[in-house]
Structure 1
Amino acid sequence: MILQKLLNIVEEESRKKGLDLNSKKTEVMVISRKQEPPKCDIFINDAKLKQQDKFKYLGTIITSDGRNNNEIAARIAHAKTSFQKMRAVLTNKHISIQTRKRVLQCYIKPVLLYGCEAWAISKQMEAKLEGTEMWFLRRMLRISWTERKSNETVLIEANSRRSLIKTIRKRQATFLGHVMRREKLEHLITTGKLDGKRGRGKQREKMMDGLKRWLGSGSSTETLETFSTRTVSHYAYVKIGKAD
């Protein structure tokens, strides 16, 4: 197995430098579309590594199914917790709504959008993100659910409009532009193709699918070509920005 060979090389080279790999702190995970991920038997000095179905890396939750649902749900929870900690300011009617929205933009939304550049957002999670955006505004205006006010009415009262999904797409467009222009390992991963047949059933929503819809591109190739040069990438960014 290639992974075992690579780990053996790392373990051997580390030992030459006087370093030892701790098998109790080293874990393995297989990313697969199957409901039951394949077993992966990897060893360090005859000690079998524990296989995980998810772990957190640099603050981001990575799961064995390759989806972002758990990460997005966690980001929403963190953002709501941060909102509650600043509730005294964000719901204070003695402070103008414009000022409070700036506080929200500065302190709460960065918590929500951490790592969003790599999200593949399903329609279900997109609805949850938009719901979170309205959750913030309703609490800032102290609107109870019993008042049965529509989202459109809330947006008018807040002198605001939906912008969260557009912000995510802008960040993804900027990130993809950097990847395409660098032409490094990330570029190879983004543009490369794997041998094999496509799985049965409806295909998963990919980050590229969302960008294709926003840019009005007919194919992934056309979308990637859009970001292949700095000038065209900037034009694409402006084009998305005009939707605000």
Structure 2
Amino acid sequence: MQNRLEDLDFADDICMLSHRFQDAKEQTISLESTARQIGLLINPVKAKIMKINTAQTKKLQIRHKEVENIEEFTYLGSIISTTGGTDEDIKARKRKAQQAFAMLKPVWRSTTLRTSTKLRLFNSNVKSVLLYGSETWRETSASIKTLQVFLNRCLRNILGARWPDTISNKELWKRTKQEPIEITIRTRWKWIGHTLRKPT
């Protein structure tokens, strides 16, 4: 027997998943019926629907009001899009990490802070921002390269390694005690397995 995930719940947000339009319609009716029992109503203006890889043209309605169809939305900080890919989310995370790195420029340029301290700050304030939600990304060689190039550039900046001085990636990772980003992301995938194995 295989369990099927039909909804994602967080605080007052509900993301319902359906393979068929009829299922989506029935889920919406059931949700509204249950919500009414405790005095809540679904807001048809705030509710959105996103169709992925389908030619379905039927319109979902809530209390005779049409629910807006969208191309992408943000759920728990991650961008979900109709392409089914993760490029948009990776680009957004990279922009946020770039901003975090830029804000800490005085730290990277400091001559009083030890490199080990700078790297700890980098891991907690930049790398963590970049990899938020990475366990849900579809890994491609292009996406991994994009992330690795960004991280390498940041690490070289922290070490003060600038042209014409050269340092190989392996030597860079050794000095900064970092691992290839691909390994970091795959390690996070293991966390999902631990969660799924926990009792209900």
Residue 13 of structure 1: aligned partner: 34
Contact 1:90 1:104 in 2 (8 A): no
In structure 1, stretches of 5+ residues that fail to align are: 185-244
Name the aligned partner's letter for residue 85 of structure 2: R
In the alignment, does 2:122 pair up with 1:120? Answer: no
Contact 1:134 1:151 in 2 (8 A): no
Name the aligned partner's letter for residue 180 of structure 2: S
What percent identity do the matched residue pairs reach? 23
In structure 2, stretches of 5+ residues that fail to align are: 1-21
Residue 18 of structure 2: aligned partner: none
In the alignment, does 2:182 pair up with 1:182? Answer: no
Contact 1:83 1:108 in 2 (8 A): yes
Aligned length: 179
Name the aligned partner's letter for residue 173 of structure 1: K
Contact 1:91 1:140 in 2 (8 A): yes
In the alignment, does 2:186 pair up with 1:169? Answer: yes
> Structure 1 pair 9/23, CA: closer, same or farther in 2 (3 Å)?
same
> Structure 1 pair 50/113, CA: closer, same or farther in 2 (3 Å)?
same
Residue 102 of structure 2: aligned partner: 84
Name the aligned partner's letter for residue 43 of structure 2: N
Residue 26 of structure 1: aligned partner: 47
CA RMSD in angstroms comes to 2.5
Choose from 113, 116, 121 the match for 1:98. 116
Alignment TM-score, normalising by the size of structure 2: 0.78
TM-aligned CA deviation for residue 45 of structure 1: 1.1
Q: Distance in 1 between matches of 2:42 and 2:168?
A: 54
Residue 83 of structure 1: SS of its match in structure 2?
A: helix
Contact 1:41 1:48 in 2 (8 A): yes
Alignment TM-score, normalising by the size of structure 1: 0.65
**Structure (1 or 2) with the greater helix fraction:** 1
Q: Distance in 2 between matches of 1:156 and 1:120?
A: 24
